Chain A
Amino acid sequence: MAFSKEAYRELEDIVGERHISNDPAFLDSYAFQWLAELVRPNFSHYMPRPVAVIMPACTEEVQRIIKLCNKYRVKAKPISTGWYHWAAPLKEDEETLQIDLRRMNRILEIDERNRYAVVEPYVICAQLQAEVMKLGLNINIIGAGASTSIVASACAYAGMGPSSFWMGNNSDNLLGMEWVTPEGEIIRTGSLGSGNGWFCGEGPGPSVRGICRGWVGSRGGLGVYTKCAIKLAHWPGPTEYQVKGTLPGYRLPIQENFRVYTLAAPTWDAWADIYYKIYDNEIGYIFHRQYALAGADLGPALWLTYIDPEKTLNDVEEAVKRKDIQDLTEELRISFQFIMAGRSIREIELQDKILDQILKETGGWKVQRYCEKDMAEFTNTYMQRLGHKHMNFVWVGGYLGSWMQTGTPDWVKGYVPVAIKGLYRDAAGGNLVQCGGDALMGNGSSIAGGGNMGLEQFVSYDPADNASVAAGTQHMRDAIVDAVANGFPPGKEAMYLQVGESDEQIWNALRRTPQPLAFHFQRKIKEAFDPNNVGDRMYATLPSEGKP
């Protein structure tokens, strides 16, 4: 059944005429998505246009909208803060209603004693962090930054960030959640469903959240998450940011019970040794390899220019030529950012002593220039808040991520040289930014407590230059070949590319995975919870192929 005027009117009845639109100008603003040009025909910046966009204000409205999508056989694609091209409709021939959740933007509850907050989908990390910090609490902000939806990262996507080492992945932190299934049923998980509050997301018996919140969530492909409770962590810092400095190089003064370091290692083996010793000694509050995103060859010149209020980015080229910057560039080859927070002064002093001993035993060091006040305070702002997401796009306006397979540090260090060599090779053609083969950024841990992490290769390309876009796409294909040839599974780039592939191509890829059974089970789950196929293929499935 085609999306009709009647369907539009029924949707309008739910939210009112102000909150629904089929104006092409509006619709194209939803189709215009980061990464689209890498996978769309003719390098288009646009994903398929939705048939309409609707903005519900509450769970009940979402439920009624989803039921209408079932009635009219229209795909339902929720978006909150968005990130990645898969937030948009995926196929030209699939009529898709974009459900924009921006009106559901309330922090519903902060329970300080029991350490959780209940939020709607358009509450962003920065918003909640500012509120909970007033109470001496904090949240894990995911790598995609402070402007992202907490509900999205906890329920629907990956959930890892620089603070996951100490605070946990947002999957770990997810408590009760409210889920409008693709059929329009409202499921409340764990203690919430039994009317006992938000504090537990498990059971009774097996946990319903297991249906849809795996390594990644369903990415908008299996209903809409309308609320969730998130576990909060202790924040031993000030109740308000006393930010200083000049835009964009904001600085957060470092409290007496904090330490902000950039650490470096002589080899990747030594880097892994440092990691394991940090892991065993349970020190650190934020653990992240951030500054490499600008590329190992140009990064130091960029960052020191960036924080200098008298410089602009036009000065980077000159900075690169300076001897001190060149020396620093070499010193920072294998480095990462590490922030420690003590519950007391004596505890931070002990953490410091332990870290010094670790560096002594492994041959690592503190990178002095990055530990000086200006850069350390900048690092403190950047890492605590993750508010500089624009820096991903700094070189020429576009970037993509490749690699990012997660595993133990020993395993990750195995793909680092392959990733570095591959980017040098692909950038040598001149159509990708040549900032150094190592633009590998990543969290100290992708799960709570550490021991599992990944590094993502940040590849900068010019989205306005078709040759550069084509080089970006080719790099992703190359990265898959490189990974497989060296015994690693495909990385994040495979997820990007699949958005532009046909169903058959995706199925073939899923069939080649070591355990395709997982995607057969996901088909059965989809059939059970989405009989009218209202969700899109972001919840990946394999066709039955004669199997029951």
Chain B
Amino acid sequence: MDNKKEQLADIVGSRFVSDDPAVLDTYARDNSFVLPLKPWFVAQPGSVDEVQKLVAWANHSSTPLIPVSSGPPHFHGDTVPSAPGAVIVELSRMNRVLRIDRRNRMTWIEPGVTYGRLQPELVKEGLRLTTPLMPRPNKSVIASLLERQPTLIARYHYSFTEPLRSCGVVWGTGEMMYTGEAGSGPLSLEAQWSMGARHSDPKGPGATDYVRLLTGAQGSMGIVTWASVRCELIPAMRKLFFVPATTPESLIDFMHRLLRVRLGDEVILVNNTQLAYMLAHQADKVAALTKSLPPWLLIIGIGGRALFPEERVDEQQQDLVELAQTYGVRLASGIHGATTNEVYDLLLAPSREPYWKLSYKGACEQIFFLSTLDKSREFIDTVYHTARIHNYPESEIGVYIQPQHQGVAHHCEFNLPYDPRDFNEVSNIKQLFSKASEALVSGGAYFSRPYGIWADMMYSRDAQSTSALRKVKRIFDPNNVMNPGKLCF
């Protein structure tokens, strides 16, 4: 081990290698139920060159590498080693915003750049990113995009890799390449920029879509060292509307239409519990807040950008009113229990600290998958039914439905807070999580991001894709040094 520590220090510098037990402990487990396993070292590379050397060293020494670019807390087990003797490749030192191009609405960032860091930089140029719902301020933008986390504005979600475009990657082989449009130029961003390349096309190079082999991979294919990301204009004017309902199914036809005509920016569906978790800064406020909110709420943000923003908002508002009348739903400009600004702040900024999902009970188990909107009610019933069997109060399940890919697919998420200090509660939630996941998979829920126990559930249903992915893995990481034990590897 000492030898390995010296070798790591040779690559990244002794200051950036740690085997402090307290540090290693923070990577040995997360907020999921995956088995804890302590890594041997944490190494913090500061450059692409160091990353490449680390991967070459890992291949030579048969050492598992676990890339980690976001700060804690982690939730899905993907950053917890599954193999002994692992080195955490902690990428927070690579935290430069490399460039922002207002005219082409692109930014280039390193993996350590977080939402908390990037958004203020973009604001200076009148830009922003469409983000996931209330991400942790220390959540790496690149990690979020690579893991296909759902983003709030479905009409900008042109495909599941949006708004991620080109990447620089060090594959598990140790070889470095650029993907997408950047794959057609030399291995130098400066050289490509000087030639006018802006890396807005994610596909390729050639007949392979390399970025798609990196997405959803939980760091098992390689380490992304930079990415180009498309930005949006900040609306000069915006308004928020609410459609309250007693059941989610009563909103589905309206949502289908709204998404089809691409009316609105943020379009999200939540139950009252979910919104209460998002709003409440203190745990003891959640119950009262939940009670004051309508059982279900569709939140619609509209914005006006560039020319005539007021008229753009006005036009959308009038169309929205007419659409609501057509579908017999009530459109409100405010709700009991929260001000419009409070809700807008939730949608536009990273989470407060501590992370909102933990503020109610200290821990939160999450179940999420993709579905079409018309099937979401069945899945809600499945989770409620399983919760009842396990005596978990239905009223404490936060439900969040986020349209994706311009409304063709929907991210369905269930948040189940629990007290991590209560052994019985932990044991119960663990069983509930497992049983609900099984029931959902059997019922047709598509766990496109299969963390932890979901991996076996999904890959056992699709032998051909599993076989194909294993072939891919052998090409890009033949010695299986990149996060071994995850997915089907």
Residue B200 at the chain A interface, CB threshold 8 Å: yes
A114-B373, A196-B445, A489-B184 are known contacts. Are A207 and B260 too (CB-CB below 8 A)? no
Contact with B along A182-201 (1 / 0, CB 8 A): 00011111110111110111
Nearest-Cβ distance from residue A11 to partner chain B, whole angstroms: 24
Decide if the interface of chain A is mainly helix, strand, loop or mixed.
loop
Chain B residues near A540 (CB-CB < 8 A): 206-207
Asked if A200 and B409 sit within 8 Å, CB to CB, the answer is: yes
| Residues of chain B lying within 8 A (CB to CB) of residue A212 | 207-208
In the complex, B22 has a CB within 8 A of chain A: no
Query: B207 touching A539 by the CB < 8 A rule?
Result: yes
Q: Does A546 contact B (CB under 8 A)?
A: no
Contacts A188-B464, A190-B448, A196-B444 given: A209-B305 contact, CB under 8 Å?
no
Is A5 part of the contact surface with B, judged by Cβ < 8 Å? no
Chain A neighbourhood of B447, CB < 8 A: 204
Instruction: Report whether B450 and A205 are in contact in the complex, using a CB–CB cutoff of 8 Å.
Output: yes
How many angstroms between the C-alpha atoms of A548 and B59 in the bound complex?
Answer: 14
CA distance A351 to B385 in the complex (A): 49
Asked whether A406 is an interface residue with its Cβ less than 8 Å from the other chain, the reply is yes
**Contact with A206, one of B212, B233, B319, B409 (Cβ below 8 angstroms):** B212
Q: Is the CB of A205 within 8 A of B263?
A: no
Stretch with Cβ within 8 A of B (4 or more), from A44-52, A53-61, A246-254, A513-521: A513-521
B216 CB to closest chain A CB (Å) equals 5
Residues of A contacting B230 in the complex (Cβ-Cβ under 8 angstroms): 449, 451
- The reply to whether the CB of A468 lies closer than 8 angstroms to some CB of chain B is no
- Bound together, the chains give a CA A525 to CA B316 distance in angstroms of 48
Give every chain A residue within 8 A of B184 (Cβ-Cβ): 489, 513-515
Q: Which of B183, B198, B306, B455 contacts A408 (CB 8 A)?
A: B198
Evaluate contact between A406 and B201: CB separation under 8 angstroms.
yes
CB of B86 to closest CB in A, whole Å: 19
0/1 interface trace, chain A 486-519, chain B, CB 8 Å (1 if under): 0101000000000000000000000001110111
B177: CB under 8 A from chain A? yes
Cβ–Cβ < 8 Å partners of B306 in chain A: 277, 280-282, 354
Chain B 75-117 interface mask (CB, 8 Å, partner A; 1/0): 0000000000000000000000000000111100000000000
In the assembled complex, B209 has its CB within 8 A of some CB on chain A:
yes
- Cβ A168 vs Cβ B158 within 8 A: yes
- When distances are taken between beta carbons in the complex, the residues of chain A under 8 Å from B156 are 449
Question: Known: A197-B372, A199-B409, A343-B261. Contact between A522 and B216, CB under 8 A?
Answer: no
Q: How many angstroms from the CA of A206 to the CA of B148 in the assembled complex?
A: 10
B210 interfacial contact with A, CB 8 Å: yes
**Count of chain B residues with Cβ under 8 Å from any Cβ of A?**
97
Instruction: Assess A447 versus B201: contact at CB under 8 Å? Given A116-B408, A207-B215, A214-B210.
Output: yes
Q: Which of B39-47, B281-289, B307-315, B337-345 contacts A (4 or more CB under 8 A)?
A: B307-315
Report whether A211 and B177 are in contact in the complex, using a CB–CB cutoff of 8 Å.
no
Within 8 A of B (CB), among A111-128: 113-116
Q: Does B129 contact A (CB under 8 A)?
A: no
A-side interface size class: 35 or more
Complex Cα distance, B471 from A181, in Å, reads 13
Is A347 interfacial (CB-CB < 8 Å)? yes
Given known contacts A114-B374, A204-B462, is B468 in contact with A187 (CB within 8 Å)?
yes
A407-452 contacts to B, CB under 8 A, are 407-408, 410-411, 414, 446-449, 451-452
Nearest CB in chain B: distance from A178 CB, A: 10
Least Cβ distance of B325 to chain A in Å?
A: 13
In the complex, what residues of B have CB within 8 A of residue A281's CB?
305-307
Output the residue of B161, B208, B318 with the most chain A CB within 10 A.
Answer: B208
Shortest Cβ distance from residue A159 to the other chain B in the assembled complex, whole angstroms: 9
Q: Is the Cβ of B207 less than 8 Å from the Cβ of A222?
A: yes
Contact of B319 (CB < 8 Å), options: A344, A446, A449, A452: A344
Give chain A interface residues in 329-352, CB to chain B under 8 Å: 343-344, 346-347, 350
Does B4 make an interface contact (CB < 8 A)? no
The A280-323 residues at the B interface (CB cut-off 8 A) are 280-282
| A-chain residues with CB within 8 Å of residue B175 when the two chains form the complex | 517
B246 interfacial by beta-carbon distance below 8 Å = no
A163 within 8 A of B: no
Taken together as a complex, chains A and B put the C-alpha atoms of A197 and B202 apart, in Å, by 26
The interface bits of chain A over 514-534 (1 if a CB of B lies within 8 angstroms of the residue's CB, else 0) are: 110111011011001100000
A213 interfacial contact with B, CB 8 Å: yes
**Known pairs A195-B461, A525-B208; A350 contacts B201 (CB<8 A):** no
Q: A206-B217, A408-B200 are in contact. Are A193 and B261 (CB under 8 A)?
A: no
| A255 CA / B373 CA spacing, docked (Å) | 31
- In the bound complex, residues from chain A placing their C-beta under 8 Å from that of B200 are 407-408, 447, 451-452
- Could you tell me if B458 and A194 are in contact, using CB atoms closer than 8 angstroms? yes
A350 close to B311 (CB less than 8 A):
yes
Chain A minimum-CB-distance residue to B463? A193
Q: Are A185 and B373 in contact (CB under 8 A)?
A: no
- Given known pairs A193-B462, A452-B201, the reply for A205 and B407 (CB within 8 Å) is no
Indicate if the CB atoms of A168 and B159 lie closer than 8 Å. yes
| B472 CB contacts on chain A under 8 angstroms | 206, 208, 210-211, 525, 528
Q: Which of B370, B406, B478 contacts A200 (CB 8 A)?
A: B370
- Which residues from chain B contact A539 at a C-beta distance below 8 Å? 207
**Docked complex Cα distance between A204 and B221 (Å):** 14
Q: How far is the CA of A115 from the CA of B256 in the complex (A)?
A: 9
Q: Are A411 and B196 in contact, with the CB atoms below 8 A?
A: yes
Q: Are B206 and A215 in contact (CB under 8 A)?
A: yes
On whether the beta carbons of B465 and A410 are closer than 8 Å, the reply is: no
Residues of the B chain whose Cβ atoms lie less than 8 Å from the Cβ of A371: none
Given A346-B319, A514-B186, are A202 and B215 also a contact pair (CB < 8 Å)?
yes
Instruction: Specify which chain B residues have a CB less than 8 angstroms from the CB of A204 in the assembled complex.
Output: 216, 446-450, 455, 458-459, 462, 465, 487
A89 within 8 A of B: no
Q: Does B433 touch A at the CB level, under 8 Å?
A: no
Q: How far is the CA of A513 from the CA of B183 in the complex (A)?
A: 10
Looking at the assembled complex, report how far the CB atom of A522 sits from the nearest CB atom of chain B, in whole angstroms. Answer: 6
Contact between A449 and B315 (Cβ–Cβ < 8 Å)?
Answer: no
Q: In the complex, A199 Cα to B376 Cα: how many Å?
A: 14
Does residue A203 face the partner (Cβ distance < 8 Å to B)? yes
Contacts of A529 in B (CB 8 A): 468, 471
Q: Which residues of A contact B213 (CB under 8 A)?
A: 206-207, 210-211
A114→B177 contact, CB < 8 A: no
24 interchain pairs, CB-CB under 8 A: A114-B408, A168-B158, A172-B159, A196-B371, A202-B448, A204-B458, A204-B462, A205-B449, A205-B455, A209-B212, A210-B209, A210-B211, A214-B210, A215-B209, A280-B233, A344-B319, A414-B196, A514-B185, A518-B210, A521-B208, A521-B210, A521-B476, A525-B475, A548-B478
> Considering the complex of A and B, which 6 residue pairs feature the smallest CB-CB distances, nearest first?
A210-B212, A215-B204, A448-B158, A203-B448, A193-B462, A411-B196
Extra A-B contacts (9), CB below 8 Å, given A204-B455, A451-B230, A515-B205: A114-B408, A185-B464, A210-B212, A215-B207, A276-B103, A346-B318, A350-B312, A452-B200, A521-B476
